[in-house]
A and B are shown apart, each in its own frame.
Chain A
Amino acid sequence: GESVGLHLPTLSVQEGDNSIINCAYSNSASDYFIWYKQESGKGPQFIIDIRSNMDKRQGQRVTVLLNKTVKHLSLQIAATQPGDSAVYFCAEGPQKLVFGQGTRLTINP
Chain B
Amino acid sequence: NAGVMQNPRHLVRRRGQEARLRCSPMKGHSHVYWYRQLPEEGLKFMVYLQKENIIDESGMPKERFSAEFPKEGPSILRIQQVVRGDSAAYFCASSPSRSSNQPQHFGDGTRLSIL
Contacts and interface: CB of A to CB of B under 8 A. Distances in A.
* Chain A interface size, under 10 / 10 to 19 / 20 to 34 / 35 or more: 20 to 34
A16 interface: no
A43 B6 CA distance: 10
B70 interface: no
B1 interface: no
A50 B107 CA distance: 22
A99 to B, nearest CB: 3
A4 B43 CA distance: 10
Contacts of B99: 94
B90 to A, nearest CB: 10
Contacts of B7: none
Nearest to A93: B100
Nearest to A35: B103
Contacts of B40: 5-8, 102
Contact of B103 (A8, A49, A102): A49
A102 B88 CA distance: 17
Interface string A11-49: 000000000000000000001101010000111111001
10 contacts: A2-B42, A6-B40, A43-B106, A91-B42, A93-B104, A94-B98, A94-B101, A95-B48, A97-B35, A99-B43
Interface of A: 1-2, 4-8, 31-32, 34, 36, 41-46, 49, 51, 89, 91, 93-102
